[in-house]
Amino acid sequence: MLPISRLKGEGRPVNPFADRAFALASLHVVDAVCGFEEDTPIELIRAVMPDILVKGGDYTEEQIVGADLVKSAGGRIAIINFTEGYSTTSFLDKIRNKD
């Protein structure tokens, strides 16, 4: 079972990794997209040691796996704004509750 499925439940992720990676890689600010099979990306973060570690706005810096490592190496943490009602979970709930 994929880490996302364990974390978010059956039927997730909705879109396969290749599609999600393609969308992220299309952003001009993204240098690389990597997947991982573990429950957390800590080993990947240790190996890559990114300059910027980005996470969604529904997390605090203290909750972000690897934030301490990235910061200790001179990197920074970027928490992007979370727009209410635009999460995948919200989208799926709307579809499921439609009569």
Torsion of the alpha carbons at 43, 47, 49 and 54, rounded to the nearest 10: -50
Residue with tokens 């600010």: 29
Mean residue pLDDT of the chain comes to 87
Q: What is the mean pLDDT of residues 6-15?
A: 78
pLDDT band at 2 (very low <50, low <70, confident <90, very high): low
- Distance (Å) of CA 74 to CA 56, 89, 90: 21, 34, 35
Is pTM beyond 0.95? Reply is no
